[in-house]
Structure 1
Amino acid sequence: MTSPHPPKVAGINPPVPAPAHTSAPAVPTPPTAPEASSPASGTLFQDRLAGWVSDLTTLHELTERLSRTADLDAALRELLRAGASLVGAGRGLVTLHPDSGTGHPVTVGLGLGHADIGHIETIPPAPAPRTHGPYRVPDDAGPHSSPYVRLLDDLPPEGDRSGRIHPDIPGEDDLDPRYREVAARLGYAASYALPLESAAGPPSGPEADAPPGAGRVGAAVWLYDEPAEPSERQRHLAGLYCGYAAEHLARLIELTGARDAVAVLREELLPSRLPHIPGIRLAVRHRTGPRGGGNWFDALPLPEGALGLAIGGITDSGPGAVAATGRLRASLRAYAVMEGEDPVAVLSDLELLLRLTEPARTATALFAYCEPPGTLPGEGRGRKVVVAGAGHCSPLIVGPGRVEYVETSLSAPLGMLACWEAPSVEIEPEPGETLLFYSDGLLHRTGDSMDRAFARLRSAAATVPRSARRDPEAIADHVLRTVLPEPEGGDPADPAEDVVLLVAHFE
């Protein structure tokens, strides 16, 4: 007589074996009918059911924590911490393959310092190249690629997520002597490695038969201080968790690649270096939000030794805003070369172009024309600066005798009116004075109201040390450090906002 099937429980599909601490001793013979229906059998089933529920709850909590990570570094560290708790290890290492989409190996350790990871990188690959799915140990694998190659070289082929156990590294004769030497130096005696294999991640190999968007993105290994190995239940839970983690990492890798592409494009659309103009020293600081905002700046030499300074922002963020920013900046450069001595005309032309070519966008802009030296009556080195603004924050002039905002005329942003025009203002900075141009993101990132943010910026400029007042680089660093101190949580009040600070010091 066979034992009856345990009763079905709605909503419970036991995905893992029964926990070791609830399993009953092996029974050599099938139970009889009276024994099968005994209270002990019901208690055993209840214990197993409680173990399954506990495992599912643990997996749910760990995957929830992982899903809240928004960047690769945080996700890899969370993966290591969760995996260590599941398999009962104290230390670990996770690495991504260069072909995963990151462009280069990314390695993160748990309980391992940089020197420890460096020792692991000296472990040589296998003596002969072997192929596992899309992976092949290269013949010329160097020390920089060896940690990832070594992990993968010891893993089963793609499609098999069972991992690899080394329960007693000092006692295994077939291991490379360097492997045992590094293990002894770092003080671990056993390891358990798992592949990170995604069904929807980026391609990880050159094989044409690999499904698009599938493959291994990396591997993780956990280290034990004493000879040990995880139980069957622990291995099953870790495999389920790593399967979810691989999908999450694949999405983050794709997102990171897109962000990197936008960042490269954005940097290429901004000035690669500032011009050298006699009598004016420049410095700039540019911090971009994670989505790639539309703030921009420019500093371009103009005919007869003049200088044009511009700063602005466009609505929206992301690749579309970055591309629109590049078009807007290129257009302003052309107008500045043709009629830069009249900033109002420059912004008027820019507004017309924006209205015709980007009807769904608005933009703020400020353009300053710094006349060539020697144009002020009776002065050999004087300069006059003509400024016009369209909805942008007024520049701040800083000197030994004054720290004040330039009174530019209040006007609407570009693209909001049928015909934009506002009067310009003229200022005459003295030798030793500095003009600060900045984006509104600098104010927003403070987390204060606009009035308090303006006051904070003015106070930061006024407290520049006397020894740094003639160095635009030092001025920029002091202002940013004072206006945006590092918060306790490590994140600014609004990290999505771009920050641009352009400093022009007149000698």
Structure 2
Amino acid sequence: MASNAPVGKPTDMSSPRLPKVAGIDSTVPAPPHTMAPLPGVPSAAPPSDAALPPGVLIQDRLASWVSDLTTLHELTERLIKTDSLDGALREMLGAGAALVGARRGMAVLEPADGLGPTSTIGLGLAHADLGTIETVPRGSGSYGRLLDGLPEADPPGAGLPDADPPGAGLPGNGPTAPRRPARVPEPIAIRDVRTEEGLDPRHREVAARLGYAASYALPLATEEAGRLGAAVWLYDEPAEPDERRRHLIGLYGRFATEHLARLLQVERARARVATVTEELLPSRLPRVPGVRLAVRHLTGPQGGGDWYDALPLPEGALGLAVGSVSGTGPSALAAMGRLRASLRAYAVMEGEDPVAVLSDLELLLRLTEPARSATALFAYAEPAQRRIVLAGAGHAPPLVVGDHRTEFVETSLSAPLGMLTCWEAPSVELSPAPGETVLLYTDGLLRRTGDATDRAFARLHAAASSVPRTDRSDPGAVADHVLRTLLPGGLDPAVEGEDVVLLAARFE
């Protein structure tokens, strides 16, 4: 059968060769249809299946099936290891190019529900090339036709109903009618852009400019997941995948779509957690004479309970706070919001005494959430006098950065909130010099380095000491330099862990 014929070799392309994949020969000879046979040399006809013994034919077919299964297994194994939408799209493009025999391509992520995220990824195409392709009218481009045609619902009254009638499924109203899943269109193959009927002239112009002559577009959609996007692979010569290759890329495309659907759900969940976290924190920092503030907040993939606050107090004073609630996820976020709101109330009532503020917070946490612990640091600042009184509960000490010193504030050790039998840590007072910056941070900044505690503290001190003098007048620049030095790659989204908060206050 044609569908069981061995996979042919891909069309020749001008870009670098792809690595070999089991079941797919990555060598690229000149396409047979682009070269005329030599005169006087008879062409050798391949042996027909009828001339082969039955046993050999069956063995060839079994070997072909095993090769296909091995190829799909290896490609899907590589795809399932990706943990981001961008990485999955790039892996899918590369694997699809090997399956259909192309060298270049693009993938468009455009979920049908309109909730995003949307993106366009290229294989062997520069950013400018992708922009040029997007100038083709959407109705003429193959990927645009796929995106606009998915999902396609049945018209009312045709086949199975799209939705249950009122009262369906209630007692006495009969069983719930099954829903018809979204229909998935067929892939679109353009064998020759120059001769294909119905193409927009701009499409032919772009193809000539970028040097491709044919394309094969596959919908990234299934009946269960609906439309997620489309992928297009480009050929340098007129060509199209045979039935065998179409079957393989169809199987791989359905698996890739389901994997993308799972990653899409994870990405949206992370975005919602990040939004909730930002809503629970101050939308802007206050402006208080004598001090300049800046904050950097990096959220982990699951959303931790790290928080910060800066609130103006009577008589020109300023309350600064950072803290961390144990746990991750929605419950930690909710606890963080309650703790921060309570601390603001206590700071307004008795902010001049940071020990009293944290003592009230300790009692509240012990009574309302006995199974949870938290760390916190609260500082009562008088910018006009450059005076700070602070107290901490299980929290790392602040760091003072200036032209003549970079040193940690000596604070008394204390257990975290929720773990105290009595308050044993008194407050400390410091007087920053004009131009010095006080850094308040959460433990996540230290733990994200991956070093032991003493080593992490040493690295933080070295990072603060190396802030260029030209940047020390800007608290935001100081915070950025420290973060770049300690976490040059930012927060790894694949690593679970605490958020990072860095609050900088520069005293004039």
2:502 aligned partner, one-letter code: L
Cα shift at 1:301: 0.7
Matches within 5 A, 1:79-228: 79-100=92-113, 102-126=115-139, 149-153=144-148, 159-160=183-184, 162-201=186-225, 215-228=226-239
Give CA-to-partner distance per residue, 1:221-240, whole Å, 9 cap, x none. Answer: 11111100111111100000
- Change in 2 beyond 3 A, CA 1:194/1:322: same
Where does residue 239 of structure 1 map in the other structure?
250
1:455 aligned partner, one-letter code: A
1:58 aligns with 2:71: yes
Q: Distance in 2 between matches of 1:64 and 1:271?
A: 44
Matches within 5 A, 1:5-404: 17-20=4-7, 25-26=47-48, 40-100=53-113, 102-126=115-139, 149-153=144-148, 159-160=183-184, 162-201=186-225, 215-371=226-382, 373=384, 382-404=385-407
2:98 aligned partner, one-letter code: S
Q: Distance in 2 between matches of 1:265 and 1:492?
A: 18
2:63 aligned partner, one-letter code: A
Q: Distance in 2 between matches of 1:497 and 1:403?
A: 26
Give CA-to-partner distance per residue, 1:65-99, whole Å, 9 cap, x none. Answer: 11111111111111111101100111111112243
Cα shift at 1:372: 5.3
- Change in 2 beyond 3 A, CA 1:429/1:155: closer
1:438 aligned partner, one-letter code: Y
Contact 1:432-1:505 within 8 A present in 2 as well: yes
- Change in 2 beyond 3 A, CA 1:179/1:446: same
Where does residue 438 of structure 2 map in the other structure?
435
In the alignment, structure 2 segments of 5+ residues that lack a partner are 9-22, 24-45, 153-181
Identity of aligned residues (%): 67
Q: Distance in 2 between matches of 1:257 and 1:108?
A: 19
Q: Distance in 2 between matches of 1:65 and 1:493?
A: 17
- Change in 2 beyond 3 A, CA 1:104/1:462: closer
Contact 2:459-2:486 within 8 A present in 1 as well: yes
- Change in 2 beyond 3 A, CA 1:117/1:25: same
- Change in 2 beyond 3 A, CA 1:401/1:106: closer
Contact 1:445-1:495 within 8 A present in 2 as well: no
Q: Distance in 2 between matches of 1:64 and 1:484?
A: 31
Secondary structure of 2:227's counterpart equals strand
- Change in 2 beyond 3 A, CA 1:485/1:339: same
- Change in 2 beyond 3 A, CA 1:302/1:154: closer
Cα shift at 1:40: 2.5
Over the aligned positions, Cα root-mean-square deviation in angstroms equals: 2.7
- Change in 2 beyond 3 A, CA 1:161/1:124: closer
Contact 1:385-1:426 within 8 A present in 2 as well: yes
Alignment equivalent of 1:417, drawn from 416, 420, 428: 420
Q: Distance in 2 between matches of 1:56 and 1:283?
A: 56
In the alignment, structure 1 segments of 5+ residues that lack a partner are 1-13, 128-145, 202-214, 374-381
Q: Which stretch shifts more, 224-233 or 317-326?
A: 317-326
1:446 aligned partner, one-letter code: T
1:358 aligned partner, one-letter code: E
Q: Distance in 2 between matches of 1:153 and 1:474?
A: 46
